[in-house]
Amino acid sequence: MTNKPQIELRTTPHAHAADDVVKIMRNVVYALLPITIWSVWQFGLSALALLLTVTLSCLLFERLFNQMRGEPSSLGDWSATITGLLLALTLPPGFPLWMGVVAAFAAIALGKALFGGLGMNVLNPALVGRAFVQAAFPVAITSWTPSLFDDRFSHFVPTTLTLPFLKPPALGDWVEQVRIDAFSGATPLGLQKFEGIETNSLDLLLGTATGSAGETSALLILLCGLYLAFRRMLDWRIPLSVMAGVVLTSGAFYLHDPANTPDPLFMLFSGGLMLGAWFMASDMVGSPVTPRGVIIYGLLIGFLTVIIRLFGGLSEGVMYAILLGNAATPLIDQFTQPRVFGARANR
């Protein structure tokens, strides 16, 4: 009996890249580290406690769901770490820690485990967690902390250590006690939308304004995103399309009514736009795979962000815009499939 050679057949793609999921995820964590360090520098102990609590909670819940499904630990793929860091960076620096744990549970349970784990989630898990606490704790999610206050490395913001189901202390009283001047208690987007006060674009670019823990320095986020783009660990067309969608949409409204509409640079550098465009909209699982699809997807997110900011009840719209973009991804992929080689185009 002769030994016949074994032929192994596999589905496409047949060309293998040197980068695997673990390496890509690990580099995303590396790219997020400068943003987390800036967050701690800007907001002190409260930001550090929030980042550690939310990230460790995501890791804990990830391991818990692994055990419940009888699967090996998936902590080594770094995806839960990324979810924790991104979720914490989207929350106010003084967000109560117990609420951060709730957000972490929602992100892992509803945004990831419910769909079957890494690679099968429809929506961005970090934004699912953020959306959950936005609905559950609307007051806490819109309570902001002064930037670069003097005692940030020796004292927690009082709301940070609030016990579950107890009323947190008023931030306004704390601001008076620590003698912080010229703090309005609103983000640049809130000031512009509800009071007509527009923050200087340079402050937004460099990161000296108030906001969520990781959204303040547009320049730093851009540089960290470019690191991933140059290493080909994200599709650069997605964040550029998101930014283009914001500029084109806000530019049209600004040209129509410049007195009552913020300029495109303000729209681009304020809020969570840069963090969302470079680190959340570019999620490989929730974004389209076709060349035309990623551009349509990015433009859609940019358009929706501006529409929600200008006409919605909230001052920020990035989170909902990306979630809607994630939901639209299967349709975008379906209608942007390239023509099969050698086939005639439909007439």
110: DSSP letter: H
Distance CA 37, CA 59 (A): 20
The percent of residues in the chain predicted with pLDDT above 70, rounded, is: 87
Residue 286 to residues 123, 129, 175, Cα–Cα distance (Å): 6, 15, 40
**Residue ranges of the domains in the chain?**
20-143+145-185
Distance CA 274, CA 268 (A): 7
pTM over 0.75: yes
pLDDT value, residue 178: 55
Alpha helix (H) residue ranges in the chain: 21-43, 45-68, 79-89, 97-111, 125-136, 171-177, 188-190, 201-206, 218-230, 237-256, 264-269, 273-275, 291-311, 318-335
Contact assessment for residue 94 and residue 42, using Cβ atoms and an 8 Å cutoff: no
- pLDDT tens, position by position, 148-168: 888 889 888 888 888 887 776
Q: How many residues does the chain have?
A: 347
pLDDT value, residue 327: 94
Q: Which residues of the chain have pLDDT under 50?
A: 1, 181-182
- pLDDT tens, position by position, 74-115: 888 899 999 999 999 999 999 999 999 999 999 999 999 888
Q: For the purposes of burial, counting CB atoms within 10 Å of the CB of 203, is it exposed (0-12), middle (13-18) or buried (19 or more)?
A: middle
- pLDDT tens, position by position, 320-343: 999 999 999 999 999 888 776 666
pLDDT value, residue 182: 44
Candidates 187, 182, 185, 181; CA nearest to 170 is 185
Residue type, 284: M
Contact assessment for residue 270 and residue 204, using Cβ atoms and an 8 Å cutoff: yes
Residue type, 76: G
pLDDT value, residue 292: 93
Distance CA 302, CA 239 (A): 9
4: DSSP letter: P
Contact assessment for residue 207 and residue 219, using Cβ atoms and an 8 Å cutoff: yes
Cβ-based neighbour number of residue 112 at 10 Å: 29
Distance CA 233, CA 125 (A): 19
